[in-house]
Amino acid sequence: MAPAPASPSCCRFRPGRRSPGWKETARVAKILVAKVLVIDDEPQIRKFLRISLSANGYEVVEAENGRDGVEACARHRPDLVILDLGLPDLDGQEVISAVRQTSPVPIIVLSVRAQEYDKVEALDRGAVDYVVKPFGVGELMARVRAVLRQRPADAEPPTTVTAGAVVIDLARRVVGRNGAEVHLSRKEYELLAMLARHADHVLTHTELLREVWGPAHVHDTAYLRVYVKQLRQKLEGDPNLPALIVTEPGVGYRFRTGAD
């Protein structure tokens, strides 16, 4: 395993000088189109939806089975999921429940199942709409627009995240616990900030390693274990019984804002 890049210890990270184009970059980022994840095992349906959604200005991500769909939802963080129920590995109802464990993303079910009990179960599990195949593309696009209109307009990410006695000021890059500033190394802070920005959602090992250490280190889970342990020692009331940075076995970690 290649050595992790060294970083000096410090307690505060001051934002560097922004490039002249940062305002324009931020403005453009706000008008990016919505991302739609299509989970369907039929290639023809996926192609049809990809063409229709792209023609209406949406970015499209595809998955051909339930497990890949759940993983794609965690990795790509779509604004909307269009889900078939008749998948080869997992029933679509199970996919709804699996996605709901980690994400509030709206889900539109697209299925040949027309029975009322299927619709009721899907909606009870967390879907926001249910469209029966065969369907009209005009109606489906109208339903997509209706769901996406409910998103907060120009929602800004939080600049401060509070979890029990821990306060993370993402704008100033300062971390405090019980009113005292906590000294973190650069990598410790970057890992904590990544978790805090997605508070109460599971981040996979691969996501964390890619974002904090880079694509060359996506398999170096030892880095992650070491730095998570260090963060727990500095932030948790009892590092052996973590309540802030919680392990999701076999998946990754979750930063809990509801910790005491």
Q: Supply φ then ψ for residue 236, to 5 degrees.
A: -80, 145
- What CATH class is the domain 157-255? mainly alpha
What is the C-alpha to C-alpha distance for residues 114 and 135, in angstroms, rounded to an integer?
12
Residue 8 has pLDDT above 70, yes or no: no
| Predicted local confidence at residue 157, as pLDDT | 56
CA of residue 116 relative to chain centroid, distance: 31
Mean pLDDT across 37-62 = 93
Task: For the chain, give the percent of residues with pLDDT over 70.
Answer: 84
The pLDDT of residue 91 is above 80: yes
For position 94, what pLDDT does the model report?
A: 94
Cβ–Cβ contacts within 10 Å for residue 17, how many? Answer: 6
What integer pLDDT is reported at residue 203 of this predicted model? 83
At the top level of CATH, which class does the domain 30-148 belong to? Answer: alpha beta
**For the chain, which residues make up each domain, given as ranges?**
30-148, 157-255
Mean pLDDT of 32-41: 87
DSSP annotation of 60 reads: E
CA distance 157 to 7: 27
242 vs 246: CA distance, rounded Å: 6
Per-residue pLDDT band at 107 (split at 50, 70, 90): very high
